[in-house]
Amino acid sequence: MDVPFAVILLIPFLAVWISFAFVWWKKPKQADTINLLLAFSGAFLLALTFFELLPEVYHAGNPKHVALFVLAGILLQVFLEFFSKGAEHGHMHHPISENTFPLMLFLSLSIHALVEGVPLDGTNSMLYGIVIHKIPVTLILSIFLVNSKMKPSFVVLFIALFSLMTPLGTYLAAHSPWVDNHGFLLNSLAIGVFLHISTIILFESSKGHSFDFKKLIVIVLGVAVAYFI
């Protein structure tokens, strides 16, 4: 069943705010308990990328062009993580002073979130993958911001602007004339971002880069749910 476009825009927005509201209310100090959810989201997003996006883009255009943009997406995410320090996959290592807005962190996360919104439409299951990815990342980001020395007004501003980025990416992709003929290239770029993020999540969600039994079960579950969804 097709999802109305307004709902596609609203759900990622709400996912950010609900996650932030939970952290604001509970005030957790650590994000260790979110690792299983993060591992599930990585496996789920990776599987959906293979099941949904890759067949679609390779069917739509020149395979070499597709591969080039997939590689560009990987490199784009590597570049963004130079500034975000891995916040897209749950790593927060940013010294923030009380009166400073973390602009580079915000910009890198915002570009990532914009790209996330590109492949969303009403006929595929990528919406679930993006939301399930966004929830643990927002929880970890919110824990970091709430427990930092930032002013509460800066924290709310950060989350408010960040929550708009994925819907904005979806809106721009849906209303750009260029997308009608070349949208598969933007989706290929998003694939590269997803491949990098999801694989990093899987290998860094466990200590020593090895999977314990719980995480292995969660990862298998994420792949299985993506297959049958």
Report the C-alpha gap between 102 and 82 in whole angstroms.
14
76 in Cβ contact with 192 (< 8 Å)? yes
Average pLDDT on 4-27 reads 93
41 in Cβ contact with 133 (< 8 Å)? yes
Is pLDDT at 12 greater than 80 in this prediction?
yes
pTM of the prediction? 0.89
pLDDT of residue 32: 62
128 in Cβ contact with 16 (< 8 Å)? no
* Residue at token pair 């990528």: 126
Among 108, 106, 125, 134, which residue's Cα sits nearest to residue 12? 134
Is pLDDT at 105 greater than 90 in this prediction?
no
pLDDT of residue 72: 97
Alpha-carbon separation of residue 221 from 43, 53, 74, 88, 229 (angstroms): 8, 20, 25, 22, 12
Q: How confident is the model at residue 96 (pLDDT cuts 50, 70, 90)?
A: low
Dihedral of CA 144/147/149/153: which sign?
positive
Average pLDDT on 61-69 reads 92
135 compared with 207, residue with greater pLDDT: 135
Per residue in 120-173, pLDDT (tens digit) is 876 568 899 999 999 998 998 898 888 887 889 999 999 999 999 999 999 988
Domain residue spans of the chain:
5-228
Average pLDDT on 104-133 reads 87
Is pLDDT at 204 greater than 80 in this prediction?
no
74 in Cβ contact with 193 (< 8 Å)? yes
User: Residue 34 corresponds to which tokens in the numbers above?
Assistant: 């979110």
58 in Cβ contact with 176 (< 8 Å)? no
Q: How confident is the model at residue 73 (pLDDT cuts 50, 70, 90)?
A: very high
Is pLDDT at 30 greater than 90 in this prediction?
no
pLDDT of residue 103: 87
36 in Cβ contact with 159 (< 8 Å)? no
Report the C-alpha gap between 51 and 229 in whole angstroms.
10
144 compared with 177, residue with greater pLDDT: 144
